[in-house]
Amino acid sequence: MSQEKVDRYKKEKANRKQIMKREKRLLNLEKAGGCILCAAILFWAGYSVYNYTQNSGTDPVETVTTEVDLNPIYDYYATLQ
């Protein structure tokens, strides 16, 4: 059992530089992919806002005004006091 551990350690030590390079390369690829994904999301959000503001200015929107008579509510509050 002990000799197996020693042999495994020697093999791992012999390939340690290659393993570390591979892990570092994968970590850098993950970071780059995350940055690209974040940039794509920010670009999409910015484009959506820009597109929304450009299109909303071309179409005139009618404003609907609704009048509400609040006198009954004011009378009710006056009776509570």
What global pTM score does this model have? 0.52
| pLDDT tens profile 47-75 | 999 988 887 666 666 888 999 999 999 99
pLDDT category of residue 9 using cuts at 50, 70 and 90: confident
Closest alpha carbon to 26 in 11, 18, 39: 18
Q: Which domain holds residue 28?
A: 2-80
- Structurally, the chain folds into a number of domains equal to 1
Share of the chain above pLDDT 90, in %: 54
As a whole number, mean pLDDT of residues 27-53 equals 95
pLDDT confidence of residue 35:
98
Distance of alpha carbon 46 from alpha carbon 4, whole angstroms: 58
